[in-house]
Chain A
Amino acid sequence: MSRTRRDPREEREARRLAGSGRPRWRLDAPPTSGRLRRDPRREIDALRVAGTTRLRLDRTGRAGPLALPTIDTAAVAAPTIRIVDDPAYLVTVVPDAPGGRLAPLDRQLLGAARTLADAGGGAVLVLSFGQIDGLGAAGADRIVALDAESGDPSARAAALAIALAALQPRHMLLPESAGGGDLARRLAAKTGEALFAGAESLTARLATRPAANRRIEQRGAPPRLVTLAPDAHLPHAGAPHEARAIAAPEGRADAPHTGILSIEDLPVAADALPLAEADFVISAGNGITDFELFRALARALGATPGASRMVCDAGLMPRAAQVGASGTVLEASCYFALGISGAPQHLQGVARCEHVVAVNTDLHAAMVERAGLAIIADAQQVMPALIALLTAEGEE
């Protein structure tokens, strides 16, 4: 357990008595740490036998228990939702949110928007294409759902241009990711707005970005359109916000570009993907003996195969498949560990994975503790059961 750190100067400053020219402090105020403090003088006073000049103390306990000094420990308030009712201005955010879930960069983006909004009583408005979960906790005050029918980014940019004209936000923030960066540039080209691309620090007064192969830093007041680089701002950590849905602004989008005939996502061959790019990784450790079965399972699940160092050292899987500090640090959203104990060097490679599933015979393995779903069973028997279930489903 750790206690929050005391700042004695700040505590003393809180007790400063106003008025006199000489600094004076109120010394009777209770300590702010909230821990009870014994006051031996008060205890002695309570035990003192009255009527004698010599000090005599009654230690039999007849004086009754000492009334504790009342210290108002700040009651831990239930999480209240912060509501910004009448915002002075709007800061709009367009998160990527692949699959309706906020990505880490989206959370950082909302954190940055919160800073910009809180600097002057503004509100954070999220423009979403499709349903997104957890926006209130991430710091959004309002949500406007935009038409998400087509995946065509030029149509989306047109919808954003309408929102930009109708809402007149002070800032519009997008992530500097593949999707968000593309959208921001389309929007900037369409509206002629200045774009501050890839901001590495962002406050209401100053934003900075690298230029000329990271030899120069450009800085200035952030314009309306800003994209934020990854890991440049902390996510919102305060009270949740209301995330009230409001109606989309009226406006007719121009017809989509006639030059674009079709846009479709291609299926990816998961086992050919480099580990660092993979989104779903299944990994074998020392608890696995049948690697043909393991590869068959990876194919059946559509996951990219990985391994722990023990397995790679033994030559059972290629070195490129090693996950961990001396292997690949994954960016996957889901990690499926079979027979891996979860050594710290291995867990570092999994640190950025959002979901972990583990199969291990040892209930006390570190990997089991890290996992969202842990199965305490023999992985050699779970693997064929999984394959059988998947093939049975495929035949149905």
Chain B
Amino acid sequence: MKALVLLSDGRHPVSGRPAPAGTELQAIALARGLTEEVAGLYAGPDAAAARTALGHGLARLEHRRLPEGDDPLPSLAAAIAAAAPDLVLAGRRAGAGAQTGLVPYQLAEALGWPLVPDVVALTVADGVLEAVQALPKGARRRWRVKLPALVTVHPAAPVAASFAIGMARSGHVEDAPGIDAPQDGTALEERPYRPRPRLIASAAAGASAAERLKAATQSAGPGGRVMVDPTPEEAARAILEHLRALGVLKPAPGRD
């Protein structure tokens, strides 16, 4: 089985130096749990960040050279078609650039492969991939998809292997020209980032300090129901009924 990990031209969030994105390194660790044959794929001008990923457990890196600002999609699709891997893994967002997280989806569409988002665990049996997707609030969802498939990796996946300089040195980089795909100049204007205040919905804008404190600590809904001194059995029944009405507790078995 062959796995291919998509690498971006990542930048370290603090220092700004070339560094692969965290989820891409986790993708390498996940892929190595399935197979020994894990290669990296990067399309772009400078493979400095992708090269560091070699030290985290990649044996080989394919670099498709592109001029600055070109769309990597055709080169990636062509490289994947040529390498014919069974599984392609990608990070959640690129480590730099626009960080829309759109490339894996566009690739899956172009290749006609199924895509499983936010994966935290992978197993393969008989050409069927079993992937566990992480959802908010700790929920998990299991997908069974036929290979070949594309997955994106969630930060809750197992941690990446640490960097080993010997591996990074011995790793092999295959350099080939990519398919030029100039993009029609970015329609979006760019400026230095300015953090915006989060808008807190519960306290209306311009409310007094007392009202904002109240909104932060008191319930928004209508006043609650109070039961004074019920017997424990009555209390238990009322609580269970209430929890079921809210939908946090499954309906009682035998009743619907």
Chain B interface: which of A16-24, A75-83, A355-363?
A355-363
Q: Which residues of A contact B132 (CB under 8 A)?
A: 266
A278 to B139: give the CA distance in the assembly, Å: 9
> B181 an interface residue at 8 Å Cβ cutoff?
no
The answer to whether A195 and B236 touch across the interface, beta carbons within 8 angstroms, is no
The answer to whether B233 and A374 touch across the interface, beta carbons within 8 angstroms, is no
Q: Considering the complex, which residues of chain A in the window 206-251 have a beta carbon less than 8 Å from any beta carbon of chain B?
A: 208, 210-220, 230-235, 237
The answer to whether A215 and B192 touch across the interface, beta carbons within 8 angstroms, is yes
A368 to B223: give the CA distance in the assembly, Å: 10
Q: Considering the complex, which residues of chain A in the window 241-288 have a beta carbon less than 8 Å from any beta carbon of chain B?
A: 257-266, 268, 273-274, 277-280
The answer to whether B136 and A375 touch across the interface, beta carbons within 8 angstroms, is no
Q: Which residues of A contact B11 (CB under 8 A)?
A: 212-213
Question: Shortest beta-carbon distance, A131 to chain B, in Å?
Answer: 13
Q: Which residues of A contact B173 (CB under 8 A)?
A: none
Per-residue 0/1 for B217-241: is the Cβ within 8 Å of any A Cβ (1 yes, 0 no)?
1111100111111101101111110
The answer to whether A390 and B102 touch across the interface, beta carbons within 8 angstroms, is no
Q: Which residue of A lies closest to B186 (CB)?
A: A218
Chain B CB within 10 Å, residue with most, of A194, A279, A377: A377
Question: Shortest beta-carbon distance, A68 to chain B, in Å?
Answer: 31
A181 to B191: give the CA distance in the assembly, Å: 24
Per-residue 0/1 for A186-208: is the Cβ within 8 Å of any B Cβ (1 yes, 0 no)?
10111000110110110000001
Interface residues on B, range: 35 or more
Question: Shortest beta-carbon distance, A233 to chain B, in Å?
Answer: 7
Chain B interface: which of A38-46, A57-65, A163-171, A379-387?
A379-387
Q: Which residues of A contact B204 (CB under 8 A)?
A: 237
The answer to whether B102 and A195 touch across the interface, beta carbons within 8 angstroms, is yes
> A104 an interface residue at 8 Å Cβ cutoff?
yes
Chain A CB within 10 Å, residue with most, of B117, B138, B250: B138
> A370 an interface residue at 8 Å Cβ cutoff?
yes
The answer to whether B227 and A188 touch across the interface, beta carbons within 8 angstroms, is no
The answer to whether A384 and B142 touch across the interface, beta carbons within 8 angstroms, is no
Q: Which residues of A contact B233 (CB under 8 A)?
A: 385, 389
Which of A198, A263, A268, A368 is close to B226, meaning CB atoms less than 8 Å apart? A368
Q: Which residues of A contact B77 (CB under 8 A)?
A: none
The answer to whether A197 and B238 touch across the interface, beta carbons within 8 angstroms, is no
Compute the total of residue contacts between A and B using a CB distance below 8 Å.
256
Chain A interface: which of B81-89, B104-112, B163-171?
B104-112
The answer to whether B96 and A377 touch across the interface, beta carbons within 8 angstroms, is no
A99 to B204: give the CA distance in the assembly, Å: 27
The answer to whether B240 and A389 touch across the interface, beta carbons within 8 angstroms, is yes
The answer to whether B242 and A212 touch across the interface, beta carbons within 8 angstroms, is no
> B185 an interface residue at 8 Å Cβ cutoff?
no
> A372 an interface residue at 8 Å Cβ cutoff?
yes
The answer to whether B138 and A274 touch across the interface, beta carbons within 8 angstroms, is yes
Q: Which residues of A contact B13 (CB under 8 A)?
A: 213-214
The answer to whether B254 and A396 touch across the interface, beta carbons within 8 angstroms, is yes
Per-residue 0/1 for B192-226: is the Cβ within 8 Å of any A Cβ (1 yes, 0 no)?
11111011111011101011000011111100111
The answer to whether B193 and A372 touch across the interface, beta carbons within 8 angstroms, is no
A62 to B103: give the CA distance in the assembly, Å: 88
> A52 an interface residue at 8 Å Cβ cutoff?
no
The answer to whether B227 and A374 touch across the interface, beta carbons within 8 angstroms, is yes
The answer to whether B101 and A197 touch across the interface, beta carbons within 8 angstroms, is yes
Q: Which residues of B contact A2 (CB under 8 A)?
A: 208, 210-211
Q: Considering the complex, which residues of chain A in the window 124-147 have a beta carbon less than 8 Å from any beta carbon of chain B?
A: none
The answer to whether B199 and A234 touch across the interface, beta carbons within 8 angstroms, is yes
The answer to whether A234 and B188 touch across the interface, beta carbons within 8 angstroms, is no
Q: Which residue of B lies closest to A218 (CB)?
A: B188
The answer to whether B137 and A278 touch across the interface, beta carbons within 8 angstroms, is yes
Chain B interface: which of A87-95, A114-122, A309-317, A343-351?
A343-351
Per-residue 0/1 for A327-343: is the Cβ within 8 Å of any B Cβ (1 yes, 0 no)?
00001111010000000
Question: Shortest beta-carbon distance, A96 to chain B, in Å?
Answer: 9
> B69 an interface residue at 8 Å Cβ cutoff?
no
The answer to whether B135 and A104 touch across the interface, beta carbons within 8 angstroms, is no
Which of A153, A215, A331 is close to B16, meaning CB atoms less than 8 Å apart? A215
Question: Shortest beta-carbon distance, A134 to chain B, in Å?
Answer: 12
> A107 an interface residue at 8 Å Cβ cutoff?
yes
The answer to whether B187 and A363 touch across the interface, beta carbons within 8 angstroms, is no
Q: Which residues of B contact A273 (CB under 8 A)?
A: 138
The answer to whether B142 and A375 touch across the interface, beta carbons within 8 angstroms, is no
Per-residue 0/1 for B117-152: is the Cβ within 8 Å of any A Cβ (1 yes, 0 no)?
110000000001000101111111111111001000
Q: Which residues of B contact A302 (CB under 8 A)?
A: 249-250
Question: Shortest beta-carbon distance, A213 to chain B, in Å?
Answer: 4
Q: Which residues of B contact A396 (CB under 8 A)?
A: 252-254
A10 to B249: give the CA distance in the assembly, Å: 53
The answer to whether B199 and A375 touch across the interface, beta carbons within 8 angstroms, is no
18 CB < 8 A contacts A-B: A99-B247, A186-B115, A211-B190, A214-B195, A220-B187, A232-B198, A234-B199, A261-B145, A263-B143, A266-B132, A332-B137, A347-B216, A351-B202, A366-B217, A368-B226, A376-B227, A377-B230, A377-B235
Q: A212-B97, A218-B98 are in contact. List 17 more A-B contacts (CB 8 A).
A: A178-B117, A189-B109, A211-B193, A231-B198, A261-B145, A262-B144, A264-B142, A280-B249, A331-B137, A347-B217, A355-B246, A359-B235, A374-B224, A375-B239, A377-B230, A378-B232, A385-B232
